[in-house]
Amino acid sequence: MMGIGTTESSARRFAGGLSLRQFLGIACLFWAYVALSNILYAYSMSIGTAGLTTAPIFAHWSQRLLQHLLLLPVLLVSFWASLRIQWRPLLIALPLQLILGTVFAAVAYPAMLIAGMTLGGEDWHKEVMAHGTAAPWTDAKFLSLWLASFVNFLPTYGFGLGLVTGLALYTRFRNSELKLAALEREWSTARLAALRMQLSPHTLFNLLHTIRGHIEWDPKGAQSMVVQLADLLRRLLNAGEHDFSKLNDELQFVRLYLELQQRRFADRLTVVLPSSQDLPAVWVPSLILQPLVENAVAHGLAGHQGPVTVRITAQMTHDVLTLSVINTIAPDKLAGEEGIGLSNVRERLAVQFEGRAGLAAGGADGEWRSEITIPAIHQSPAREKRRAPALIDA
């Protein structure tokens, strides 16, 4: 059976949420099974009664096949109408559904008579003509055979309708799931974009404040810092357009930011960064380190006049990447509530990794450590997304 759902999700649906190909496929497969089972049953019964009588009790297989071929258009129209009517409101839909099933079952025996006239021998022609000598409703034999056919084909129609309706319901359910998943992805993307927009102004304002402090007493230094700021903003905008970036690029951005801060606090701020050659070739969420580094600088320098060291490490263990931002703090400084930076990092990790990543932060022995643990991503998530096959096809 063909796949349910949609590479062509926007394509026109034929009935009940099914495409024309899905509808014809399931209905024709069902009817082929019914035709084959009826032909085999009639053939086996004719073999069993061949020694008892020569009367044409059971039609030849070719007549049975023609009967089912004649009934196929009626079946398709009935199924199509049923899917269009559906089942609500029940008081109106149920009588209409019963009428469709009754009409289909009622024409089954006349279809057999037409098949007998078309493909049957002389005996079948006599049998059919015998029904025409009187009104059918006064012919006991015709009524009994018609009733037997009606009773046989009515539940058959019901089983087929249940199969088609079930497929239509599953298709609608599956399409709803896909639409919900797409909406969740769009919501997550918008949410991440909003989080990045919260980071960018915060970073910009801190750096502008740093440059402002240099304008009066070190104009050349301020000009140099403006050039560095332009480079930082260019990288910031570029990183803000992507969910992930290379770890090396992320560290380059952090290095540029810390260089600007060192220009302001040259006598107090010491920075220790890992060598580019020692960094694993992995991808990390864009700008994920920036709020942690800002916190390290701001809270490390606050509350005392001593030197501050900001150290960043990156370690890979069993395909898990651990990024640590460590800064010295005043010996008597107490841990306070987490600010917007740490909250944003936690929220981004929750959205992008769905519980497979985390952030731990805390102070001890005169240091504050913020540690991110994420699964190692060795290939660009954007490339993996482009290569991903369609979930289903119509």
Strands 320-328 and 283-285: unpaired
Concatenating the DSSP letter of every residue in 59-128 gives: --HHHHHHHHHHHHHHHHHHHHHHHHH-S-SHHHHHHHHHHHHHHHHHTHHHHHHHHHHHH--HHHHHHH
Q: Which of 181, 204, 231 is the last residue of a domain?
A: 181
Contact 26, 82 (CB under 8 A): no
Contact 59, 112 (CB under 8 A): yes
Buried b (16+ CB within 10 A) or exposed e, 215-237: eeeeeeebeebeebbeebeebbe
Both 364 and 225 in a single domain? yes
Q: Where are the alpha helices (DSSP H) in 339-393?
A: 340-353, 381-387
Domain membership of residue 14 (yes or no) is: no
Domain membership of residue 288 (yes or no) is: yes
Q: What is the CATH number of the domain that holds 343?
A: 3.30.565.10
pLDDT computed for residue 325 by the predictor: 95
- For the chain, which ranges sit under pLDDT 70? 1-12, 48-57, 120-138, 188-203, 206, 239-240, 333-339, 382-394
Concatenating the DSSP letter of every residue in 298-334 gives: HHHHTT--S-EEEEEEEEEETTEEEEEEEEE--TTPP
Cα dist from 17 to 73, 82, 85, 90, 312, whole Å: 20, 13, 13, 19, 55
pLDDT computed for residue 373 by the predictor: 95
Both 166 and 271 in a single domain? no
pLDDT computed for residue 128 by the predictor: 62
Both 28 and 172 in a single domain? yes
pLDDT computed for residue 66 by the predictor: 93
pLDDT computed for residue 324 by the predictor: 95
pLDDT computed for residue 121 by the predictor: 64
Both 166 and 295 in a single domain? no
Domain membership of residue 187 (yes or no) is: no
Both 255 and 359 in a single domain? yes
Domain membership of residue 9 (yes or no) is: no
Contact 233, 201 (CB under 8 A): no
What is the spatial distance between Cα 331 and Cα 301, in angstroms, rounded to a whole number?
A: 12
pTM score: 0.52
What is the spatial distance between Cα 342 and Cα 392, in angstroms, rounded to a whole number?
A: 39
Both 248 and 135 in a single domain? no
Q: For the packed helices 247-264 and 140-215, what is the interaxial angle rounded to 10 degrees?
A: 30
Domain membership of residue 207 (yes or no) is: no
Give phi and psi for 313, each to the nearest 5: -130, 155
Both 260 and 118 in a single domain? no
Domain membership of residue 326 (yes or no) is: yes
Both 156 and 242 in a single domain? no
Q: In total, how many domains does the chain have?
A: 2
Both 265 and 340 in a single domain? yes
Both 133 and 238 in a single domain? no
The first and second tokens of residue 360, run together, are 């731990």
* Residue 247 CA to its chain's centroid (Å): 29
Both 323 and 270 in a single domain? yes
Cis previous bond, 56, omega within 30: no
What is the spatial distance between Cα 22 and Cα 3, in angstroms, rounded to a whole number?
A: 9
Containing structural domain, residue 147: 20-181
Q: DSSP letter at 15?
A: B
Domain membership of residue 278 (yes or no) is: yes
Closest CA to 2 of 14, 18, 13: 18
Contact 80, 15 (CB under 8 A): yes
Domain membership of residue 7 (yes or no) is: no
Both 330 and 273 in a single domain? yes
